[in-house]
Structure 1
Amino acid sequence: MKEQTIFELIHFMDKVTDNLIIQWNKQFNEDLGISHILVLTHLLENGKSRPSDIAKSLGLTPPTLTHLSEKLVKRNLAVRVLDESDRRIIYLDISDKGIAMVHKANKEGVALRENLFQKLTKQELEQLLKIYEKLNGAL
């Protein structure tokens, strides 16, 4: 494969991702970004977690996670919890309001993807799925 073709492919993959994020942000209208929802989703799936563990899992810097968690706590979507055996350790946990927000975000995401992928034929969707499965396996 030509080098230019590889860069074109990466460029278009990034453009699709960027445009999906832009469209999701327009539709979601909750003054929260994708990163906020990723943090809440991590908490929903993994339970209370140390901020450093969340940052590492999501590939974020600790200062970025601090900034994100401040907004989540301020909006009552997450809570800080002290470790009972070592009060120096602080965990972040999702609230009921945060769980509802994750469900709302996922619902918006599903609608956005359905709208996008309906532009493809069934055969194109099957090919795309196989391609992404293969690429994911190679990584």
Structure 2
Amino acid sequence: MAEQTIFELIHLMDKVTNNLIIQWNKTFNEDLGVSHILVLGHLKKYGKSRPSDIAKALGLTPPTLTHLTEKIVQKNLAIRLNDESDRRIVYLGITDKGIDMLEKANKEGEILRKNLFERLTEQDRQQLLKIYTKLSSEKN
């Protein structure tokens, strides 16, 4: 087998990622993207959070997070909370409706994952997870 260039590898990785996003958008009919769900997941896992901390944790720019926040607040999936001791500090918190939406997204995600990875063996999936974990580590 001929050695692949880094560009061919990046292209293949992009194709898989883009396919996942396309499939997600076809099946999850809630007018929310993957990034919205990631923000809700962060809020559920860590509780109320400052938007700047969420942006940093998810690798998003502050303007991107502001855009995402507007939509999830508008849909009553999250709320803005003022700090009691310093009104200039604003937090985001997840609502019960946001938790329900996150659970729905996770169920849809499980179906997507199953459909995508069903052709891989368990060993293949574990190896893929190990590779992506290694590639995404911040020790680059």
TM-score, scaled to structure 1: 0.88
Could you say which residue in structure 2 is the equivalent of 1:29? 29
Write the mapping of 1:92-107 to structure 2, written as runs, cut at 5 A. 92-107=92-107
Note the alpha carbon deviations across 1:10-64, whole angstroms, 9 max, x for none.
2101110111011011100100011111111110111101111111111111111
In 2: Cα distance, 1:68 partner to 1:89 partner = 19
Secondary structure in 2 aligned to 1:32?
coil
Could you say which residue in structure 1 is the equivalent of 2:84? 84
User: What is the number of equivalent residue pairs in this alignment?
Assistant: 138
Write the letter of the residue equivalent to 1:50. Answer: R
Residue 125 to residue 83, structure 1, CA distance change in 2 (3 Å):
closer
- Percent identity of paired positions between Structure 1 and Structure 2: 73
Write the letter of the residue equivalent to 1:54. Answer: I
The CA RMSD over aligned residues, in Å, is 2.1
Any unmatched runs of 5+ in structure 2?
A: none
Residue 4 to residue 70, structure 1, CA distance change in 2 (3 Å):
same
Large movers: runs of 4+ above 6 Å? none
**C-alpha displacement of 1:130:** 4.5
Write the letter of the residue equivalent to 1:9. Answer: L
Could you say which residue in structure 2 is the equivalent of 1:61? 61
Secondary structure in 2 aligned to 1:57?
helix
Secondary structure in 2 aligned to 1:36?
helix
In 2: Cα distance, 1:117 partner to 1:130 partner = 15
Secondary structure in 2 aligned to 1:86?
coil
**C-alpha displacement of 1:92:** 0.5
TM-score, scaled to structure 2: 0.87
Could you say which residue in structure 2 is the equivalent of 1:70? 70
Write the letter of the residue equivalent to 1:90. Answer: V
In 1: Cα distance, 2:93 partner to 2:118 partner = 36
Could you say which residue in structure 1 is the equivalent of 2:45? 45
Most deviating of 3-12 and 120-129: 120-129
**C-alpha displacement of 1:122:** 4.3
Q: Hey, which of these two has a bigger chunk of helix by percent?
A: 1
**C-alpha displacement of 1:119:** 1.6
